[in-house]
Amino acid sequence: MRTSILQLLRENQNEFLSGEWLSSQLGCSRTAVWKHIQTLLDRGYEIEAVRNKGYRLKVFSDAFIEDAVIGQIRAVWPDAAVEFYSSASSTQTLAHRLLETNTAERGIVIADEQTNGKGRLGRSFSSQKGEGIWVSIVMRPNIPVHQMPQLTLVTATAVCKAVREQTGIELTIKWPNDLLLNGKKCCGILTEVQSDPDQVKSMIVGIGLNVNNNDFPEWLFDKATSLSMETGERFDRLQLLAALIYSMETMFSLYEEKGFSVIKPIWEASAESPGANIRARTRERVYEGINRGIDDDGVLLIEKENGEIERLLSADIEK
């Protein structure tokens, strides 16, 4: 109920909504509305209450306050297992715990700040308070194990679509897991899969999207950017979050129903164009050659100097 009141206030940001109207919309008494408004005030929302006019949200806020975040998630996934933290060590670690204790089809752990955000290959991921979307999503895609590399690519297309639809910004995909804006990293994806020998059982996909950051630690300065730094605008993280979850749901439904062949052209439309010389580092060695794009499994093809094609399931692209 409180979440619905907040949602109505956010949707009608500049208008007063009367207690009577709110109570009729939500099927509760005016006293109940008043009590929920008091709770929202206690939780830090600036709500103006004027006699004979009603209630209005005073300042535009994309603050990640629990009710607002959960409201956005529930609008898309009413039955998901949801955990919200104003500060967490890493949502990815917490999502592993959620997966162990909860059998819901969808799960989501989200934090306004991570103090020990994790990237691929044991790297850390900078996740400052109030600036981005730091989220780990649990899903149970029904696919055979050999299709595992596709999961990051499907996620990347879903994030690009959500960002495009909410902000008009076109991110580009750097295979396999980075999303770039003007050549700098704006979003990272960390995919972890639980499987038996043949079949994927579940996945935890961590998404770190830099939204309103206007600064980064020095070691990231040349490499990282945010939607805000490149455009000079601030974006509503709550709306972006809802768009992201909706896009994950629709993209993964499409993928499970029709297969990767339908996702591949959508991925290619956002991906860095093939044809450039690249250097790819795997755990074992470094490969140099021409980027020949991905095959039908989502595997990266590199044409070596001798003309042979190397197929890479996962790697770090250095140039």
Q: Whole-number minimum distance, CB 51 to ligand BTN, in Å? A: 45
Considering the complex, state which of residue 40 and residue 73 has its C-beta at the smaller distance from ligand BTN.
Answer: 73
Q: Whole-number minimum distance, CB 46 to ligand BTN, in Å? A: 29
Q: Whole-number minimum distance, CB 248 to ligand BTN, in Å? A: 13
Considering the complex, state which of residue 94 and residue 200 has its C-beta at the smaller distance from ligand BTN.
Answer: 94
In the chain, the amino acid numbered 40 is: L
DSSP string across 297-312:
TS-EEEE-TTSPEEEE
| Residues contacting 141, CB < 8 A, separation 6+ | 151, 200, 203, 252, 255, 256
Q: Whole-number minimum distance, CB 50 to ligand BTN, in Å? A: 41
DSSP string across 223-256:
TB--HHHHHS----HHHHHHHHHHHHHHHHHHHH
Neighbours of 46 (CB within 10 A): 11
Considering the complex, state which of residue 22 and residue 91 has its C-beta at the smaller distance from ligand BTN.
Answer: 91
Neighbours of 69 (CB within 10 A): 26
Interface positions with ligand BTN (CB under 6 A): 90-92, 114, 117-120, 123, 125, 127, 134-136, 177, 188-190, 206-208
Considering the complex, state which of residue 88 and residue 302 has its C-beta at the smaller distance from ligand BTN.
Answer: 88
Strands across the sheet containing 200-210:
81-85, 107-111, 132-139, 200-210, 184-195, 178-181, 172-174
Going by C-alpha positions, the residue among 183, 243, 236, 221 that lies closest to residue 64 is 236
User: Does 114 belong to an annotated binding site?
Assistant: yes
What is the rounded CA–CA span in Å between residue 211 and residue 235?
A: 7
Q: Whole-number minimum distance, CB 245 to ligand BTN, in Å? A: 14
Considering the complex, state which of residue 67 and residue 113 has its C-beta at the smaller distance from ligand BTN.
Answer: 113
Considering the complex, state which of residue 119 and residue 259 has its C-beta at the smaller distance from ligand BTN.
Answer: 119
Q: Whole-number minimum distance, CB 13 to ligand BTN, in Å? A: 29
User: Does 25 belong to an annotated binding site?
Assistant: no
Q: Kindly give the pairing relationship between strand 47-50 and strand 54-57.
A: antiparallel
Q: Whole-number minimum distance, CB 274 to ligand BTN, in Å? A: 22
Considering the complex, state which of residue 39 and residue 115 has its C-beta at the smaller distance from ligand BTN.
Answer: 115
Q: Kindly give the pairing relationship between strand 81-85 and strand 107-111.
A: parallel
CA 276 from centre of chain = 28
Q: Checking phi first, is residue 161 left (phi over 0); if not, alpha (psi -120 to 50) or beta?
A: alpha
Q: Known binding site for biotin: residues? A: 114, 185
